[in-house]
Amino acid sequence: MSDLKTEIKQSRPFGSIQEEAHLSIIRTAAMLTHAFNEAIRDRGITGTQYNALRVLRGAGPQGLCRNEVRDRLVARVPDATRLLDRLERMGLIERERQGEDRRFVTTRITPAGLALLAELDEPVRELHQTQLAVADEHELETVVSVLARLRSRL
């Protein structure tokens, strides 16, 4: 088992266990994210684009407005409009103005977007299983619970 001090080549002790935990969470998230992005890169999308497509798939045929997509993303993005613009240019989503308020635009996933996610479902599931195989189900439930408690305080 590798410890964080060794991984980041730090010779001095951490200032506190809280600092070590914080850095460990960030380091682990970065490593998981990098591997995930590498796994989907050959499909021509980023992790954030994948997440937006999953959000829209989950929304169903009624779709969502831009702010709803933005609010449901796992990681915050500075410009949800630009993210959706790219997905629309790729043919993975479509947007439609609704009603009298021209500012309200409904975003829906296209059949091409659904097909791309369907292609990725199994490889992504296998990646998660491989990445997290070191922990048993009870340990993973504990990780999920502790991280949920941390997020609820932020």
pLDDT of 36-58, one tens digit each? 999 999 999 999 999 999 999 99
CA-nearest of 106, 90, 1, 7 to 49 is 90
Q: Has residue 62 been placed in a domain?
A: yes
- Percent of the chain's residues with pLDDT above 90: 83
Residue 4 binned pLDDT confidence (cut-offs 50, 70, 90):
confident
Q: Has residue 129 been placed in a domain?
A: yes
- Compare 8 and 85 and report the one with higher pLDDT: 85
Instruction: Give pLDDT, residue 31.
Output: 94
pLDDT at 2 over 70: no
Q: Has residue 8 been placed in a domain?
A: no
Residue 102 binned pLDDT confidence (cut-offs 50, 70, 90):
low
Instruction: Give pLDDT, residue 101.
Output: 66
Tell me the whole-structure pTM to 2 decimals. 0.87
Q: What is the mean pLDDT of residues 100-122?
A: 91
Q: Has residue 93 been placed in a domain?
A: yes
Residue 96, SS3 per DSSP: strand
Q: Phi first, then psi: what are they for 84, rounded to 5°?
A: -70, -35
Instruction: Give pLDDT, residue 113.
Output: 98
Residue 130, SS3 per DSSP: helix
Q: Where residue 138 sits, what CATH number does that domain have?
A: 1.10.10.10
Q: Has residue 7 been placed in a domain?
A: no
Residue 139 binned pLDDT confidence (cut-offs 50, 70, 90):
very high
pLDDT at 10 over 80: yes
- Looking at the structure of the chain, the number of domains it has is 1
pLDDT at 137 over 80: yes
What range defines the domain where residue 140 resides?
Answer: 14-152
The encoded tokens of residue 149 equal: 């408690």
Q: Has residue 78 been placed in a domain?
A: yes
Q: Has residue 18 been placed in a domain?
A: yes
CA-nearest of 104, 105, 85, 82 to 93 is 85
Instruction: Give pLDDT, residue 59.
Output: 96
Q: Has residue 3 been placed in a domain?
A: no
